[in-house]
Amino acid sequence: MRHLLDTRSLSRDDALRILDVAEDMADTQSREVKKLPALRGRTVVNLFFEDSTRTRISFEAAAKRLSADVINFSAKGSSVSKGESLQDTAQTLQAMGADAVVIRHGASGAPRTLATSGWISAGVVNAGDGTHEHPTQALLDAFTIRKRTFGDASRGRDLAGLRVAIVGDILHSRVARSNVWLLHTLGAEVTLVAPPTLVPQDVSHWPATVTFDLDEAIAGDPHALMMLRIQLERMNAAYFPTEREYSRRWGLDARRLAALSADSMVMHPGPMNRGLEISAEAADSARSTVLDQVANGVSVRMAALYLLLAGSGPDAAQNVTEED
């Protein structure tokens, strides 16, 4: 694997390879082996042009657990505010020895530009670009669904036959887009639930069904109900229902939580708007996978960096050896 830019073009084999290597990474961490030597001498640059808590910190933790050196770059407080371009910023960091660049950017397509422009030779990982994709989020979501559903028998399995409902601000969500493509590739059935004004115009080309009715989606007995953050900062008041209306019709409240079947899981990529798209009761319930998703994010990002920088062959997972 040279870059990880999206899930739309990720093959089933490559997706399963990442998930299986992530299982190996999770195993080492559960045995309190915090550090592996796999990326010793390599440098990972976290290049963040937008705010992040989970993604930036978990990429940093993942790289450090693989013994890589990490350089954290945040556009705030950098020479980007003086007008420095993406090309010059990236080339400056490459000159400091970057082997991989993890990039979050407000412009859809920025990671692909970095990967294909010839500006840098480092591998590129998309950590979220505009409203386009957030592939490692979808991979950690798939990992979480697989682990909750199949437990220790997860390795090598896809998600065939599982039903996943993705609820909320689909229009602005790179998480939704990456999940739709990956879940489809892994065989899951995807239903999108949103107010009509928050459904993208091109949704008929996506491998998913659409409903405006959350209660109908819950009656369909989803294995996973994935609540999305309402991106109020991108919202035009003309097409957003009031928060009260949104919460009443599309929020996961106590009544809807109780209507889910016993083994349905409640997911959210974070950050959450508690009381808007998800109630505190749902977010903190035993069904909630929110903190599992965060923990699994480290394992999945370790796998992505490992496959990018240390090997991509079918035996890659067996090459993960513990620090002595």
Detail the residues annotated as belonging to a binding site for carbamoyl phosphate. Answer: 54-55, 104, 134, 137, 270-271
- Least separation in angstroms between residue 57's CB and ligand CP is 8
Cβ proximity to ligand CP, 55 vs 89, nearer residue:
55
Given 8, 35, 54, 274, the residue binding ligand CP (CB under 6 A): 54
- Least separation in angstroms between residue 221's CB and ligand CP is 26
- Least separation in angstroms between residue 297's CB and ligand CP is 8
Could you say whether residue 52 binds ligand CP (CB under 6 A)?
A: yes
Preceding peptide of 269 cis, ω within 30°? no
Cβ proximity to ligand CP, 134 vs 184, nearer residue:
134
Could you say whether residue 55 binds ligand CP (CB under 6 A)?
A: yes
Q: What are phi and psi of 199, to 5 degrees?
A: -105, 125
Cα–Cα distance for residue pair 10/234, rounded to 1 Å: 28
Cβ proximity to ligand CP, 63 vs 316, nearer residue:
63
Cβ proximity to ligand CP, 47 vs 310, nearer residue:
47
- Least separation in angstroms between residue 268's CB and ligand CP is 9
Choose the binding region for ligand CP from 25-33, 48-56, 106-114, 254-262 (rule: CB under 6 A).
Answer: 48-56
H or E, element range at 139: helix 135-150
Could you say whether residue 106 binds ligand CP (CB under 6 A)?
A: no
Binding residues for L-aspartate: 82, 174, 229
Could you say whether residue 251 binds ligand CP (CB under 6 A)?
A: no
Binding to ligand CP (CB under 6 A) within 123-152 occurs at: 128, 137
Given 53, 87, 91, 116, the residue binding ligand CP (CB under 6 A): 53
Of the candidates 245, 264, 138, which has an alpha carbon nearest to the alpha carbon of residue 197? Answer: 245
* Size of interface with ligand CP, in residues (CB under 6 A): 9
Tokens found for residue 245: 């209306």
End-to-end CA distance of the chain: 27
Could you say whether residue 321 binds ligand CP (CB under 6 A)?
A: no
Of the candidates 144, 156, 111, which has an alpha carbon nearest to the alpha carbon of residue 2? Answer: 111
Given 106, 156, 187, 271, the residue binding ligand CP (CB under 6 A): 271
Could you say whether residue 270 binds ligand CP (CB under 6 A)?
A: yes
Cα–Cα distance for residue pair 134/251, rounded to 1 Å: 23
- Least separation in angstroms between residue 321's CB and ligand CP is 30
Q: What are phi and psi of 72, to 5 degrees?
A: -100, 125
Of the candidates 66, 59, 53, 54, which has an alpha carbon nearest to the alpha carbon of residue 25? Answer: 66
Tokens found for residue 316: 């890659």
Q: Give Cα separations from 289 to 68, 80, 135, 269, 282 (angstroms).
A: 29, 36, 18, 9, 10
For every residue of 195-252, DSSP letters joined together read -GGGS-TTGGGSSSEEES-HHHHHHT--SEEEE----GGG--GGGS--HHHHHHHHSB
Choose the binding region for ligand CP from 12-20, 50-58, 67-75, 240-248 (rule: CB under 6 A).
Answer: 50-58
Could you say whether residue 28 binds ligand CP (CB under 6 A)?
A: no
Contact residues toward ligand CP (CB under 6 A) are 52-55, 128, 137, 269-271
